[in-house]
Chains A and B, each alone.
Chain A
Amino acid sequence: MLRVVTWAEQPSDWWGWLLVLTGLVSGILGVVFALAQHDLKRLLACHSVENLGIIALGLGLGLLGLSGGSPLAAALGLGGGLLHVWNHAWFKSLLFMGAGALGKATGSLQIESGGGLLRRMPGTGGAFLVGSAAISGLPPLNGFVSEFLIFMSALELLASVHPLAGAAGLGGLALISGLAVACFTKVCGVVFLGEPRSPGAQKATEIRGSMLVPMLLLAGLCLLVGVMAPLGIGVLGAPLQQLAPQADLEPIRGSLGWVAALGGLVLLAGLGLGHALSRRPSQPGMTWDCGYSRPTARMQYTAASFAGPLLEMFSFVLKPRHHGSPLEGHFPAPVGHHGEVCDPFTQRLYEPISRSLMRLALRVRVFQHGEVQLYLLYILITLVALFIWEAL
């Protein structure tokens, strides 16, 4: 795709817009669907959709920078997009390897059947945690660096030639990264922390060194790219020259330096403080159970429950299906419950028009919720907006 861009003399606006919009849609939908998955591999696959969305968003913003005549925004967007391609390859391989290790150790890829694995598989767990932080775009890891570049590109556009695209990119990417944090805290929290939720997780042991070492190396790479970004940014120079001769990432090198320095410092100091805390006198106990002395592993938050509130908000895209009979009578008989979300592509790709109409209608319905005060506020906002319109 990028090759095509280089053939053209001057990219036109709509190419960039197309990429920005595809990026946003695929990014947000990708992460929302990931939140709803029960299977770790499917979840990671949905995240690939999300990350491709981020890449497309970066490239789109970069193209808009090119067409609008803002070389810095172009360099940042294209550079961020390209860097994210690499970064994504690293942390996603790491996470998939982690998922593989998990499947081997516990015999299941179901998120709900994990639990307590960081204690049993510290190497895998640690590497997976690093990968999760990286894919969630947290400093000082590599994911943050590429998202930083894309965000900067959006900010540049916002303040100069394409404010609307900048705003869309900024808000969309912020939403994506917020949801990604939610999704990966879910995975890490449910799979690696807490108590084992299945016999498989109970018996799990650390995997072979030959499987572990590549994961640890990749985790190290994620960190290295994060803190070495100011030095390594030049690597992006050559491909950038191809795309946009006048683009230059030099101005951002200083910022990246500070980001890396402060981020690295936070990590070190945090580890130090955590270590200091663990050295303080303590005694072992049990997790607070409200005085009930017979806790079970069922008394842990499940992944579905964890993602519940967010899924509820996005149920208009997800259309979750719940199986299970409702509880009936004052003294109900035992029932079971199961929920799932359908494959997005069968529904979404082939019925785009009806879907988008539906979505639009549902979006509008968000504003219809029966809260009189908020209605008043809407009216107020509209009045104020009209007033401004009139005044200008």
Chain B
Amino acid sequence: MSMLLGLFLAPLLAGLIHRVKAFFAGRQGRPLLQLYWDLARLVRKHMVLSRTTTPVFLLGPALSLVSLLACLTLIPLGGPALLRFPGDILLFLGLLALVRFATVLAAMDTGSSFEGMGASREVAIGALAEPGIFLSLAVLVVQTRALSLSGIWARSGPELWSRAGLVMVLVGIAMFLLLLAENSRIPVDDPNTHLELTMIHEVMVLDHSGPALAVIEYASALKLWIGSLLLSSLVFPLHSGSAWLDLLGGVGVVFLVALAVGLVESTSARLSMLRVPQFVGLSSALSLLALFLVIR
């Protein structure tokens, strides 16, 4: 159930962020459901495949999407996840690394300097973000003594907040910063720009078209959903006793996170590429601080 919800609602987040930004810019903005229409249209289109490319070019998006779907089975929402076992956190993170590996190679497959540029930025940010994600999840592991995402979900919540509020705030901020970085949002990347030289994620998929682009667009919507869901389920879970209410609350928090992303994008400028490592490093530093507070 919660997984189906993710599959259907993920593209809505992008629409919501756009509407928030449009509101701040004094514009009406595009329809909330625009991404759904875009996907439907892209799927029906033909593709243009560069003569330089190999099967890696299509395998990249395919593996990314499938890995993210697998990730979705591991995250709890309103109830424990479909699959749960000690150490599923590590599989979750391994799959995210696989997404990066696949996307980057698909970009390098085109032999384009633009896409190489995007790929290079992606791996640099990814390599720095990785410790951040591990450490922030480690804090939650220590706090809840659970080795699975569902376990953390079950033991996190108001009680934990009252016991270790500061730690949770730090973890929440760190995870939010990582969400911005990993999903190519401002201030790390600008998803709206049309300037190849400044992009990260968008420039890596410059040559994908038609159904392959649909797969990529949907996968990035899912990635944003998953990132927001992590915050929602692990940091702000609801345990009201009613599964439906928990589910509703969880989804609500996901949309609140998207709202916050929109707010950040509306009110801040992009960082210079030189400053991005510091931004990502900051999230690792916050997680580390939280971790020291916990294990001291």
Contact = CB atoms under 8 A, between A and B. Distances in A.
A292 to B, nearest CB: 11
Nearest to A308: B120
A310 B127 contact: yes
Interface in A83-139: 115-116, 118-119, 125, 129, 133, 136-139
19 contacts: A148-B91, A174-B131, A174-B134, A177-B97, A177-B130, A178-B130, A181-B100, A182-B124, A188-B108, A193-B108, A270-B62, A270-B102, A273-B66, A278-B58, A286-B50, A300-B112, A300-B116, A371-B275, A384-B166
A79 to B, nearest CB: 13
B47 A307 contact: no
Interface string B49-69: 111111110110111011101
Q: Which 10 A-B pairs have the closest CB atoms?
A: A301-B116, A189-B108, A194-B111, A178-B130, A163-B295, A178-B127, A270-B63, A274-B62, A273-B62, A182-B123
Contacts of B61: 274, 277
Contact-size category for B: 35 or more
B121 interface: yes
Contact-size category for A: 35 or more
Given A138-B97, A175-B130, A189 B67 contact: no
Contacts of B94: 137-139, 144, 148, 263
B26 to A, nearest CB: 27
Contacts of B49: 282-285
Interface in A243-288: 251-252, 254-255, 258-259, 262-263, 265-267, 269-274, 276-278, 280-288
Contacts of B127: 175, 178-179, 181-182, 310
A369 B123 contact: no
Contacts of A159: 141-142, 145, 147
B contact patch SS: helix
Contacts of B282: 374, 377
Interface in B250-296: 273, 275, 277-278, 281-282, 284, 286, 288-289, 291, 293-295
A163 B126 contact: no
A118 to B, nearest CB: 5
Interface stretch (B33-41, B82-90, B224-232): B82-90
Interface in B18-45: none
Interface of B: 46-56, 58-59, 61-63, 65-67, 69-70, 73, 83, 85-91, 93-95, 97-98, 100-102, 104-105, 107-117, 119-121, 123-124, 126-131, 133-135, 138, 141-142, 145, 147, 166, 196, 206-207, 210-212, 215, 273, 275, 277-278, 281-282, 284, 286, 288-289, 291, 293-295
B6 to A, nearest CB: 16
A167 B110 contact: no
A190 to B, nearest CB: 7
Nearest to B281: A366
A313 interface: yes
A282 B210 contact: yes
Given A139-B94, A158-B141, A287-B207, A270 B66 contact: yes
Contacts of A286: 50-52
